[in-house]
């Protein structure tokens, strides 16, 4: 089970802080490190909505562009044996390695 909240296109990963007895969250996909917390799910949800709204308003007020959508280009290195096996699996499924990898990633994040 993933502990994620979404609101107005923003997502946040939720964690429990046992030391302080609160739920904490951080808006994902932005570099500004916007966090929030609450002592109940409802309080956390309210704090999340407030954080998203405040971030959006602050960006507009200071003339900052909110994060742009991702380009769709992903580049990473893998072990050569993994590369070989993935290329073979893609070929056997009748797809390019790129399409096979995109399908695999799409399945992995399904539910967003």
- Give pLDDT tens digits for 16-62: 999 999 999 999 988 888 999 999 999 999 999 999 999 999 999 99
pLDDT in tens, 64-99: 887 776 777 888 899 999 999 999 999 999 999 989
Q: Are residues 58 and 9 in the same domain?
A: yes
Number of CB atoms found within 10 A of residue 36's CB: 23
Q: What is the distance between the alpha carbons of residues 101 and 4, in angstroms, rounded to a whole number?
A: 24
Domain boundary among 62, 82, 101: 62
Q: Are residues 104 and 58 in the same domain?
A: no
5 CB contacts (<8 Å, ≥6 apart)?
Answer: 11, 12, 14, 25, 44, 45, 48
Q: Are residues 95 and 55 in the same domain?
A: no
Q: Are residues 54 and 76 in the same domain?
A: no
Per-residue pLDDT at 75: 87
Q: Are residues 45 and 74 in the same domain?
A: no
> How many domains does the structure of the chain reveal?
2
Q: Are residues 9 and 49 in the same domain?
A: yes
Sheet holding 4-7, edge to edge: 4-7, 10-17, 22-27, 35-38
Per-residue pLDDT at 63: 92
Q: Are residues 58 and 78 in the same domain?
A: no
Q: Are residues 80 and 103 in the same domain?
A: yes
Q: Are residues 24 and 74 in the same domain?
A: no
Residue ranges making up the domain that contains 37? 4-62
Contact 86, 96 (CB under 8 A): no
Q: Are residues 53 and 79 in the same domain?
A: no
Per-residue pLDDT at 2: 62
Tell whether the model's pLDDT for residue 1 goes beyond 70. Answer: no
Q: Are residues 58 and 74 in the same domain?
A: no
Per-residue pLDDT at 66: 78
pTM for this structure? 0.65
Q: Are residues 28 and 55 in the same domain?
A: yes
Tell whether the model's pLDDT for residue 100 goes beyond 90. Answer: yes
């Amino acid at each position: 089970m993933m502990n994620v909240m979404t609101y107005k296109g923003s997502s946040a990963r939720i964690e429990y802080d046992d030391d302080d007895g609160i739920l904490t969250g951080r808006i994902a996909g932005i570099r500004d490190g916007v966090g929030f917390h609450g002592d109940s799910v409802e309080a956390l949800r309210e704090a999340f909505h407030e954080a998203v709204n405040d971030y959006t308003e602050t960006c507009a007020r200071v003339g900052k562009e909110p994060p742009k959508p991702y380009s769709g280009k992903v580049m990473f290195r893998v072990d050569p044996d993994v590369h070989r096996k993935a290329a073979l699996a893609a070929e056997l499924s009748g797809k390019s390695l790129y399409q096979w990898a995109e399908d695999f990633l799409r399945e992995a994040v399904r539910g967003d």
